[in-house]
Chains A and B, each alone.
Chain A
């Protein structure tokens, strides 16, 4: 006896031709092995069909309005982004040379010199040769 294999799944889905349907019906009436195979396949089929239909996230459809694709961010992505930002800050701090100590005396001298120059600039007179004669 030739056993059936692929046709059993097709039969379960009602996708067999009339001729194939007659063949399967007749065969499983006579063959215990193929009848058990059919039952096993039906269990797998029923298992998948028993999975619940999940609800789509509520914010999903409005997000699709934008032409430019914007990937949705979930907590794991935020955490990865935060970790990357922290790594950049740390790496930058390590890469920069140590700042030189600040000498307040130098600052005072520079500010004083700039003030003196400014005063001097205010007192400058532009002399055009021959104009004040």
Chain B
């Protein structure tokens, strides 16, 4: 039985939507997200001939990660501002009253806004894990960091996110 080689159209069909959502959740802009999908698909098209059978997901998300980093560097708009004041209060925000308010305020816009407040590395790890559904190992391969770093980034990202959502709910 022979297998037809993977084409970039196959990649667009099977992964285009995921790449778009990854980009949108990272940058919050549909036009920038669409530009990134185009850039990724172009890189996939150029790279498919050299792709060796193996972890296609790891290869694809590494391309996506690199394309996003390049794009952000090009535009010099890479957000890096941390929220240190939120880190120290995340436990204090876990009161039952705040939880109820948080549940009522959990709208997509609030969550997206809170995501955009995260430092880039944390946001990327959280989006890869909770939006795209990649494993820690796949994220580590895509971002080229150890799995331990992925663990830390996801955890710290969630802590900041939880604190930011609690603040929005309380405010």
- A contact set with B: CB distance below 8 Å: 5-6, 8-10, 13, 15, 33, 36-37, 39-41, 43-45, 47-57, 60-61, 63-64, 67, 69, 71-72, 74, 76
Contacts and interface: CB of A to CB of B under 8 A. Distances in A.
Contact of B130 (A36, A48, A52, A53): A48
7 A-B pairs with the lowest CB-CB distances in the bound complex, closest first: A9-B155, A44-B162, A64-B41, A48-B130, A44-B158, A56-B20, A44-B161
Contact of B16 (A13, A37, A50, A60): A60
Contacts, number: 113
Contacts of A40: 90-91, 93-94, 162
Contacts of A63: 38
Interface residues of B, number: 47
B135 A15 contact: yes
Interface in B1-53: 8-9, 12-13, 16-17, 20-21, 24-25, 30-31, 34-35, 37-39, 41-42, 45
A41 B155 contact: yes
Chain B binding surface, main DSSP class: helix
B119 to A, nearest CB: 15
Contacts of A48: 111, 115, 126-127, 130-131, 161
Nearest to A36: B94
Q: Which interface residue of B16, B108, B154 has the most chain A CB atoms within 10 A?
A: B154
A13 B20 CA distance: 23
A52 B25 CA distance: 10
Interface in B134-171: 135-136, 151-152, 154-155, 158-159, 161-162, 165
B117 interface: no
B143 to A, nearest CB: 15
B159 A69 contact: no
B162 A43 contact: yes
